[in-house]
Amino acid sequence: MAEIDESLVYGKLHIYPASRSVYADDQEIALTRMEFDVLYFLASNPNIAFTREQIYEAVSKDDYSGGAYIIRDIIYRLRTKLKITNIRTLHGYGYKFCIDHEKDNAMS
């Protein structure tokens, strides 16, 4: 039986977990395994704040204690590649995926 690819859709951002593909503005964007996993984890848990450590533990297969520091770089690459503002930095805490980006775009 084929797996149905239930997508997550936030405006012009489409995430397809079964095929591990991401589209922004109808263009497929190539992501690394960790980039996809971080994006999918955050987008699957909208408006919930996570520390870098929580994100790393959720998406990583190893237990490297310093691994959480790469999350900042992955978030930067996701914002750059996808040209999205959904991923918000919570200074002194971590990140969250916000679904109210259309309101933000209307204000700019």
Q: How far apart are CA 48 and CA 28, in angstroms?
A: 26
Domain range for residue 31? 8-101
For residue 18, give the CATH number of its domain. 1.10.10.10
Give the pLDDT band of residue 107 (cuts 50, 70, 90). Answer: very low
Is 64 a domain residue? yes
Beta strands in 39-85, from DSSP E residues, in sequence order? 50-51
Contact 90, 42 (CB under 8 A): no
pLDDT digits (tens, 9 = 90+) for 19-75: 999 999 999 999 999 999 999 999 999 999 999 999 999 998 777 767 788 999 999
Total number of domains in the chain: 1
Tell me what pLDDT residue 68 has: 82
For the chain, the first-to-last Cα distance in angstroms comes to 46
Nearest to 23 by CA among 43, 3, 45: 43
Tell me what pLDDT residue 62 has: 76
Is 43 a domain residue? yes
Mean pLDDT of the chain: 87
Q: How many CB atoms lie within 10 A of CB 4?
A: 7
Q: How far apart are CA 92 and CA 5, in angstroms?
A: 36
Tell me what pLDDT residue 99 has: 86
3-state secondary structure of 24: strand
Is 107 a domain residue? no
For the entire predicted model, the pTM comes to 0.85
